[in-house]
Amino acid sequence: MPAEQLGFYRDLMQKDLIDGPRSQQIQRWASNQVCIALGTFMTAAALLGVDTCPIEGFSPPEYDRILGLESSSYRSCVVCAAGYRDGSDKYAGLARVRYAPSALIEYR
């Protein structure tokens, strides 16, 4: 579809999400949507045999500064390390601790 035919839709989105009251929530909404992409990234990486680890406690403003995002409309909201574990990692092959569902779930 030619871009010219999408003008009405563009104006509608502009009025609602950029100029309207929801513009105050758009940053939080977009940040939450990134979690969907993060889950997809981690799943795809696992299927390729790549280890991942989402990281909490990072400083988004500092990441923005390092990545040069301060003068753009982009912001840091998630960090996820990806790579291959060390083949000599003695903990990688250990059995995982799994609790019985009855020890974790209480039915009321």
Those residues whose C-beta lies under 8 Å from the C-beta of residue 52, and which sit 6 or more positions away, are 41, 42, 45, 46, 80, 81, 82
- pLDDT at position 63: 95
- pLDDT at position 84: 93
Low-confidence ranges of the chain (pLDDT < 50): none
The span from the CA of 70 to the CA of 62, in Å, is 10
Within 1-108, strands assigned E span: 51-55, 79-83
Top CATH class of 28-104 equals alpha beta
Those residues whose C-beta lies under 8 Å from the C-beta of residue 99, and which sit 6 or more positions away, are none
Q: Map out the domains of the chain as residue ranges.
A: 28-104
| Single pTM value for the model | 0.65
